[in-house]
Amino acid sequence: MKRRVVVIGVAGITMASLVGAGVLLGPRLKSPAQAAADAAPPAPSQITAQVERRVLTEPVVLRGQLTPGPSTPLLPPQAALGDSSVVTKVRVRPGDRLNEGDVVLVRADEPMFALLLPFPLYRDIAPDDRGTDVTALQDALRRMGHGAPRTGVLDTPTQQAITRWYASRGFTTPPGVKRSSIVAIDRPGRVISTLHVGVGSVLTDPRAPILSLDGQAPFVKATASVEQGKLLKAGQQATVSDEAAGTKAAAAVSSVGSAPVTGADGVTGVEVALAFTGAALEAAAGRAFRVDVAVAGSPEPTLAVPVTAVLSKADGTTFVTVDGADVVVTTGRIAGGWVEVTGLAEGTRVVVGGKK
């Protein structure tokens, strides 16, 4: 009787131990199928986007160049050209107004004056010379306040007026006036925008201006393909990017050409000019820029979804997925990765990138 009790007691203790171990180890014991399921990645969640009311735009990307604005070049007098015509001093600077009688520069130690003349001087005017060029010189001296007579002859009073003019600018007077010392201007008061010469320059090229007057703001000139040109019109906003410098500036299309041209990049199409609407990018003329023009595909805001949200069935029906259900839609214009749709309410969330 005692042995039986002991056996039952030992069995009871063993069973209790196994139960206790099961309670402790149970959470850690998994079947192979459960372990594989736990190791698998979670089911992917669906990516959605809202139906938006927006203007559909498709940027037109061009390559453009910085181009100086229109200006009036001031060419040196023909008689001043030559290997010995070395600029020794420049007496003006950008931003100055060029007035009649001003010294533009000094070349070979001789001053070069700006005078308002109906024509460039065609000869050196010597004492006792007479002619229409002498009359034009006398008129200029009178306008500058040096009191020359109007005789058409370079007489003594005229020479005295020339002496006063030269002295007022810090120079001594040669007999008469050399045509190499006079550069004709069409009107006084023009603003010097660019200097093209400096000390040490040699005046040898008759086509090379010594300075530019009344220069307008620089602009960007680009060439668009014929198809791109059909999308562009004056007033469209653009972003001009100097990719090398990492800078950008706002601009607007100012004109779109109609005649075919070949741009500096070899593209044949139509010429497009863009004006900066704020500060222009600072760069040398000819610097290449990227130009992004926002081209409107719809004049007014319209309901649209990302193009990846729209799917099609075998029968050609287009639809989007909303809350797990297919909703048939009608599509319209496409621009900038968005497509116009009807049949949906603004703010509805649609699945993006789904597969059927």
The residue with greater pLDDT, 137 or 147, is 137
pLDDT band at 337; cut points 50, 70, 90: confident
From 197, 213, 229, the end of a domain falls on: 213
Domains in the chain: how many in total?
A: 3
Which residues, at least 6 apart from 306, have a Cβ–Cβ distance to it below 8 Å?
Answer: 49, 337, 338, 339, 352
In a shared domain, residues 105 and 177: yes
Position 329 pLDDT exceeds 50: yes
What DSSP line would sit under 34-59, residue for residue? HHHHHHSPPPPPPPEEE-EEE--EEE
Lowest-confidence pick of 102-116, 181-195, 254-268, 278-292: 254-268
pLDDT at 223: 92
Q: Is residue 208 part of a domain?
A: yes
CA 52 to chain centre: 31
Contact 234, 253 (CB under 8 A): yes
* For the chain, percent of residues with pLDDT exceeding 90: 65
Whether residue 49 is predicted with pLDDT greater than 50 in this model: the reply is yes
Q: Are 320 and 309 in contact (CB under 8 A)?
A: yes
pTM assigned to the model: 0.55
Q: What is the pLDDT of residue 85?
A: 96
Give the residue from 276, 296, 316 where a domain finishes: 296
Do 202 and 84 sit in the same domain of this protein?
Answer: yes
CATH number, residue 322: 2.40.420.20
Higher per-residue confidence, 70 vs 101: 101
Given 256, 278, 296, the domain boundary residue is 296
- Within 10 angstroms of residue 89's Cβ, the number of other Cβ atoms is 12
Going through 199-329 in order, the beta strands assigned E by DSSP cover 211-213, 219-224, 237-242, 247-256, 261-262, 268-276, 288-296, 302-306, 311-312, 318-322, 325-328
Is there a domain that residue 25 lies in? no
pLDDT on residue 217:
86
Asked if the model's pLDDT at residue 16 lies above 50, the reply is no
Same domain membership, residue 197 and residue 152: yes
- Say if residue 330 is in the same domain as residue 288: no
Asked whether residue 161 is assigned to any structural domain, the reply reads: yes
Per-residue pLDDT band at 286 (split at 50, 70, 90):
confident
- Ranking 131-135, 255-259, 282-286, 310-314 by mean pLDDT, the lowest is 282-286
- Do 135 and 185 lie in one domain? The reply is yes
Lowest mean pLDDT among 45-54, 169-178, 187-196, 256-265: 256-265
Instruction: Say if residue 132 is in the same domain as residue 248.
Output: no
25 has a pLDDT exceeding 60: no
Cβ atoms of 339 and 307 closer than 8 Å: yes
pLDDT tier at 5, thresholds 50, 70, 90: very low
Q: Is residue 37's pLDDT more than 80?
A: no
Mean pLDDT of 39-64: 79
* Rounded average pLDDT over 51-72: 88
| Helix (H) or strand (E) segment spanning residue 182 | strand 182-185
My answer on whether 130 and 176 are in the same domain is: yes
CATH number at residue 292: 2.40.30.170
What distance in Å separates the CA atoms of residue 233 and residue 253, rounded to the nearest whole number?
7
Percent of the chain with pLDDT over 70: 85
Is the pLDDT at 263 greater than 80? The verdict is: no
- The per-residue pLDDT of the chain, averaged, comes to 86
Mean local confidence (pLDDT), 197-207: 96
Q: Please answer whether residues 232 and 255 qualify as being in contact, where contact means their C-beta atoms are separated by less than 8 angstroms.
A: no
Residue 143 contacts by C-beta under 8 Å, 6 or more apart in sequence?
A: 100, 116
Asked if 81 and 198 sit in the same domain, the reply is yes
**Tokens representing 317?**
């029906």
Which residues are paired to 255 by β-bridges? 273
Residue 63 lies in a domain: yes
109-123: pLDDT as tens digits? 999 999 999 999 999
For residue 142, being part of any structural domain is answered with: yes
Query: Sign of the C-alpha dihedral, residues 165, 169, 170, 176?
Result: negative
Please report, in angstroms and rounded to a whole number, the separation of the first and last CA atoms in the chain. Answer: 77
Q: Is the pLDDT of residue 22 over 50?
A: no
**Same domain? 185 vs 266:** no
Mean pLDDT calculated for residue range 332-342: 86
Q: Is residue 268 part of a domain?
A: yes
- CA–CA dist 95, 106 (Å, integer): 19
- pLDDT: which is higher, 253 or 11: 253
Give the contacts of 66 (CB within 8 A, at least 6 positions apart): 218, 219, 220, 280, 281, 283, 284, 285, 286, 287, 289
Alpha carbon distance 54, 297 (integer Å) = 11
Lookup: tokens for 145: 């306040």
Flag whether 19 is in a domain: no
| Residue 22 counted as domain residue | no
Q: Based on the domain organization, do 282 and 319 belong to the same domain?
A: no
Mean pLDDT of 9-22: 43
User: What residue numbers bound the domain in which 310 lies?
Assistant: 48-56+300-351
pLDDT of residue 311: 93
Q: Are residues 111 and 200 in the same domain?
A: yes
pLDDT band at 222 (very low <50, low <70, confident <90, very high): very high
pLDDT at 18 over 70: no
* 248 and 305, same domain (yes or no): no
